Structure 1
Amino acid sequence: MSEQVQVTLLEAKSQLLQLGARAWQGDRVVITKAGKPYLDLLPYVATPQARKPGRLKGKIRMSADFDRTSEDIIEGFEGRL
């Protein structure tokens, strides 16, 4: 179960490595300034890049008989072999 940890800016400066490890393990780390919450220390989470349609245009080719299936393959799938 995660727990919340509050530290001052000065404490965070001297304990950054340990606080980072705790944040990575799921603890909520709050850094305070003048007794009030100032920053949340969060683990990095990669965000997926937006998909760009058409970026492979002209790089992929399909054979002319792509949509034709030979009879032996059809028979194999239908269990007639």
Structure 2
Amino acid sequence: MTTPLIVNVHDAKTHFSRLLEQVHAGQEVILAKAGTPYARMVPLEPSPAQRKPGRLAGKLLDDAFFDALPEAELTAWSGA
């Protein structure tokens, strides 16, 4: 991991576009006011992929999976 770049607020305002490009490239930037850290600029995490309901339909379980269980199986599971 790289060492964060510490930039005072005035310089950050002057060179914001350049700093934004550095952050986008993976560099962490700490914004400081009078030498005191105030904020951190870091790149955004990638968005998780959107889920699509039903995309595995028919691929994992066949229709027999949903058939009623035989009475002996039900009794075994109920512990009776």
Between Structure 1 and Structure 2, the one with more helix by share is 2
1:41 aligned partner: 41
Q: Distance in 2 between matches of 1:17 and 1:29?
A: 13
Structure 1 residue 42, shift from structure 2 partner: 1.4
Q: Distance in 1 between matches of 2:48 and 2:13?
A: 31
Taking only the aligned residue pairs, the percentage that are identical comes to: 31
2:6 aligned partner: 6
- CA RMSD, Structure 1 to Structure 2 (Å): 3.3
Q: State how many pairs are aligned.
A: 59
Structure 1 residue 48, shift from structure 2 partner: 4.0
Structure 2: segments with no counterpart, 5+ residues? 65-80
TM-score, with length taken from structure 1 = 0.52
SS in 1 for 2:63: coil
1:78 aligned partner: none
Q: How does 1:61-72 map to 2 (within 5 A)?
A: 67=63
Structure 1: segments with no counterpart, 5+ residues? 54-61, 69-81
